[in-house]
Amino acid sequence: MEVTIELTTKLRDEFGKESQQ
C-alpha cells in the first residue's frame, strides 16, 4: 500500500507543478 501512496503523491506533485506553470 505504501508504494501506491508514493506513486499517487508523485503524480499529484507533477500535476501540481504543471498546473502552477
8-18 residue pLDDT tens: 999 999 999 88
- pLDDT on residue 15: 93
- pLDDT on residue 2: 87
Amino acid at residue number 14: E
C-alpha cell at 1: 500500500
Q: Which residue has better confidence, 2 or 7?
A: 7
- pLDDT on residue 9: 97
**CA dist., res. 8 & res. 6, Å (int):** 5
| Whether the predicted pLDDT of 1 surpasses 80 | no
